[in-house]
């Protein structure tokens, strides 16, 4: 469990960094948001993927401290961006075990000066699956602050549709596995169309994730998709590169 010991030290030693990936509004034809994506630069192993260390952080009880750091650091950074650019932050289900989550968000907003309307919190349906009464109460507290709540990785779980009824989400993010096959799989296209219809009927934004080519972008535009994210627009990049891309004076 060498990695576990290293992870316990990593926060104090400043080994975490936030990268940011743009969200591109197809109607406005510009970047209107960026998603914070956590990176761990391990002194010997180099970059460790969040897919590896987030589950470990949850397991060893570090996700609370790490999640707080992410919220504070991301809000501080986003406060420098133009007003029309929102910040999206991923929340792990384990962060909902702490009833102070909404208070932590309030503190991060207050300390940074970022307006609540500019913060989007991305959750997966597992948040609503586990301990749902308590998690639902926290979600409503968050929503009452004026922050937006997005359903991430939509379409990959068990019963996403029922979750859309149980909470007033502001955004649906279509999982990248559907976008990947949009040009050569009629079923993937049909599902994307249905989710875009669903978003339109609910009056909320639908974002297509994992857009890697111009052809995929064209198809999504043709289907009326409002927002895209993916390597075709930009890979996740360090804060300074994103600030430059957004025209922030350094
Ligand atoms: O950026 P990347 O593809 O490596 O992210 C892998 C996974 O890690 C994704 O599911 C993403 O949502 C998650 N992730 C990235 N940053 C954070 C974070 O700050 N907090 C949480 N809880 N998950 C994150
Ligand atoms: O679970 P979540 O959607 O938060 O995770 C997003 C993950 O997808 C991040 O790890 C990010 O690095 C990755 N990602 C973002 N854009 C693309 C893309 O165009 N192609 C692929 N393969 N991965 C992407
Ligand atoms: Mn996400
Ligand atoms: Na996602």
Distances (CA, A) of 63 to 49, 103, 107: 15, 16, 18
Phi and psi (nearest 5°) for 171?
Answer: -155, 145
Whether pTM exceeds 0.90:
yes
* pLDDT tens-place string over residues 86-113: 999 999 999 999 999 999 999 999 999 9
Q: What is the pLDDT of residue 159?
A: 67
* pLDDT tens-place string over residues 65-85: 999 999 999 999 999 999 999
47 pairs with which residues across the strands? 41
CA of 249 to the centre of ligand 4 (A): 30
Of all atoms in ligand 1, which is nearest to the CA of residue 95? Answer: 22
Using CB distances shorter than 6 Å, the residues near ligand 1 are 36-38, 49-51, 54, 70, 90-92, 236
CA distance 206 to 228: 8
Of all atoms in ligand 2, which is nearest to the CA of residue 232? Answer: 19
Q: Ligand 2: which of 91, 175, 207, 231 to mutate, most ligand atoms within 8 Å of CB? A: 231
CA of 55 to the centre of ligand 2 (A): 17
User: β-strands 237-238, 16-25: how paired?
Assistant: antiparallel
CA distance 62 to 56: 8
Phi and psi (nearest 5°) for 61?
Answer: 75, 25
DSSP character at residue 134 = H
Atom 19 in ligand 1: residue holding the nearest Cα:
38
* pLDDT tens-place string over residues 171-230: 999 999 999 999 999 999 999 999 999 999 999 999 999 999 999 999 999 999 999 999
Q: What is the pLDDT of residue 197?
A: 96
Distances (CA, A) of 24 to 30, 72, 175: 6, 24, 16
Task: Give the 3-state secondary structure of residue 24.
Answer: strand
Nearby residues for ligand 3 (ion, Cβ within 5 Å) = 90, 122, 152
The residues, ordered by sequence, that sit 6+ positions from 43 with a Cβ below 8 Å of its Cβ are: 15
CA distance 182 to 248: 35
Q: ipTM value of the model?
A: 0.98
The position carrying tokens 């075990």 is 97
Q: In percent, how much of the chain has pLDDT > 90?
A: 90
* Cα three-residue angle 166-119-174, rounded to 5 degrees: 55
């Amino acid at each position: 469990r060498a990695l576990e010991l290293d992870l316990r030290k990593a926060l104090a030693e400043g080994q975490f960094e936030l990268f940011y990936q743009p969200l591109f509004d197809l109607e406005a034809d510009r970047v209107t948001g960026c998603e914070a994506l956590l990176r761990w630069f391990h002194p010997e192993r180099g970059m460790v993927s969040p897919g590896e260390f987030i589950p470990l952080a949850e397991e060893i009880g570090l996700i609370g401290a790490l999640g707080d750091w992410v919220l504070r650091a991301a809000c501080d950074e986003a406060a420098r961006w133009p007003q029309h650019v929102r910040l999206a932050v991923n929340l792990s289900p384990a962060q909902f075990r702490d009833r102070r989550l909404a208070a932590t968000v309030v503190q991060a907003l207050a300390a940074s000066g970022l307006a609540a309307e500019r913060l989007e919190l991305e959750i997966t349906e597992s948040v609503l699956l586990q301990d749902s009464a308590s998690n639902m109460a926290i979600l409503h507290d968050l929503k009452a602050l004026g922050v937006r709540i997005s359903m991430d990785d939509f379409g990959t779980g068990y019963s996403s549709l029922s979750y859309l009824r149980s909470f007033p989400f502001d955004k649906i993010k279509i999982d990248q596995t559907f976008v990947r096959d949009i040009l050569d799989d009629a079923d993937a296209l049909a599902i994307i169309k249905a989710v875009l219809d669903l978003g339109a009927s609910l009056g909320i934004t639908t974002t297509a994730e994992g857009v890697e080519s111009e052809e995929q972008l064209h198809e999504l535009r043709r289907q009326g998709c409002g927002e895209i994210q993916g390597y075709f627009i930009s890979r996740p990049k360090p804060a300074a590169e994103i600030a430059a891309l957004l025209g922030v004076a350094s």
